Amino acid sequence: MTETEARAAIVATAQAMERAGLAPNRSGNVSCRFDGGLLITPSGVPYAEMCVADIVALDLAGVVRSGSRTPSSETPFHTAIYRSRPDAEAIVHTHSPRATALACTRRGLPAFHYMIALAGGPGIRCAEYATFGTQALAENALRGLEGRQSVLLANHGVIAIGATLEAAYEVACEIENLAGQYLQMLAAGLEPVILDDDEMQRVMAQLAQYGR
Ligand SMILES: [Zn+2]
């Protein structure tokens, strides 16, 4: 993939995220690895108007390599994830409404549905709260992501990672869907039946077989 193609893929993913209602009021951001560093969405540019020239190239320390825009304010957790998670090729961060509502209760998602396994384990954690844009948030997010492709951020939103932008985006969409189901059960006063770890291991093996 050329740098222009990678920049275009980030713009397309960011715009899809907004059209799907996962990024209200310019929230969220998208990045992918490129050439030993990363490409990331800028801060303050409406998604509908974003173009390839707005994407910012950074090294893994977060230093700007090229681009006239200011990189996303959440650059610290993007660089921290790429530095310590070799499996992460792309990151989608959202403030998607239902997952964010759940994250504001500082609860994660238990294995109430088998698709929780899409995020790599028998449950999705809610990382401890820290102020947006800080190194402390990056560290909390990394801990919450251990062995997972997604984490909720307390009183904030969601991070999804993947081997491709498409995979990270798919996880972000599924987390929003699952959070909606979970909130509906809680709102109805119903307790979900939680799938046990053995079953979730079988589900993960099945998902791997079907190339998810
Ligand atoms: Zn955010």
DSSP of 169-203, one letter per residue? HHHHHHHHHHHHHHHHHHHTTPPPPPPPHHHHHHH
pLDDT-derived band at 67, boundaries 50, 70, 90: confident
pTM above 0.85, yes or no: yes
Taking residues 156-180, report their average pLDDT. Answer: 98
- Cα-to-centroid distance, 175 and ligand 1 (Å): 15
- Token pair 């239902």 in the structure block, residue: 98
Taking residues 79-87, report their average pLDDT. Answer: 98
Taking residues 41-49, report their average pLDDT. Answer: 96
- Cα-to-centroid distance, 202 and ligand 1 (Å): 33
- Cα-to-centroid distance, 156 and ligand 1 (Å): 6
Instruction: Look over the chain and give the mean of its residue pLDDT values, rounded to a whole number.
Output: 96
Domains of the chain, with CATH numbers? Answer: 3-208 (3.40.225.10)
In the set 18, 74, 89, 174, the catalytic residue is: 74
- Cα-to-centroid distance, 195 and ligand 1 (Å): 30
Taking residues 11-22, report their average pLDDT. Answer: 98
Task: Say how far residue 61 (Cα) sits from the centre of its chain.
Answer: 20
Is 18 catalytic? The answer is no
* pLDDT given for residue 212 in this prediction: 57
